[in-house]
Structure 1
């Protein structure tokens, strides 16, 4: 079997859905991995049931795959992401996968947040995997901020970390870039000082204080809540306040936070 297919993991997630939609237009066979037993009726995509964390159902799904775009992550049980990455790499080696494109997060090497440590460990696994790889770090997705503020606004006060800047980047633009990278060679382009395979970060057009993002969201959603910036002590808080969540020199995204709010949140 010729290995020419693109596999998207996490294909039902916020980013994975966007990646899958764009992969359909590449002209290549497209596969998607889900833990669901009932597979979508999707004539443009070959869906497979598999569990990365358990390592089940992967060999059939990966057979014939040249490139994996790895979007799967379980933020609620993020410790499962490392065994899942191990299983992905093992299945990829068995199947003869040539290229893994991984999405990661700006600032994970400078902020000692537990989920970020897991993401960084995943990057290091990829670097030493022996498989061709490309790693893209992006800033915050508006859809995830929307979900977070939706939960926080259920309380009388919306709490945000003080002195923390964010730089939302449209998840659709990140999906465009991931598919572009998947169609190229591993680590295509000039790598930054992070090692071969890591491509320049992708950040949104504007840097905002976290409290400004919260107030903008509340205004768009028509909710009256007080926004309370809270000082986070220690290295974690210092990391947030250092600007590590942003990449002003990589403000290449086009779609703004205000445009997202107008389209998806405003009433």
Structure 2
């Protein structure tokens, strides 16, 4: 596609031969161990290739597990250098299965998974009020807001004060103080409002209260290490 058209459509350059930009960890793919037809796994990968051909995603990674075994472990595209506005002179860095990727708001699904694991372990009842585990959260009428409402973006505290300095987001005690002091827009779960920043801090506090551990350590112990993942963390080391 012509470079001007790609810039207008906000897409990356896609070669005709996708093997040029495909990385496969063949040693990490074992469909035979679980009796899976290799063609089934390849059909999934063909769907990934079709998505990549749209040019919308400069790079894609996929790790697919079936019955506990990894049956696909591949990447396609570039980590850097092939964005829609990248100059041709910029070096293209291939995407591999070891390339760290920022999940952004997809991390909310990870936090939700951890809360359901706590439920399975009998440490949390999702229908309990947050204040059952963290009494200080009950301030200003938030006593009845449940863990489930926070998970489903119905917790009534979708935002922090506009004037909050950005650095506060890295101060766990201060952000918790602000959330405890917040007045909810409603408490009965009737309204959906994206809890873009607030929900994760509330759920983190509940998890850490009932486990006596940090959310990072809990994620590491129950998910990252057992599944042999390198980068599945909240943030990375400096």
Q: TM-score, normalised by structure 1?
A: 0.18
| Structure with the higher fraction of residues in strand conformation | 1
Q: TM-score, normalised by structure 2?
A: 0.19
Q: Which has the larger radius of gyration?
A: 2
Structure with higher RCO (Cα < 8 A, 6+ apart): 1
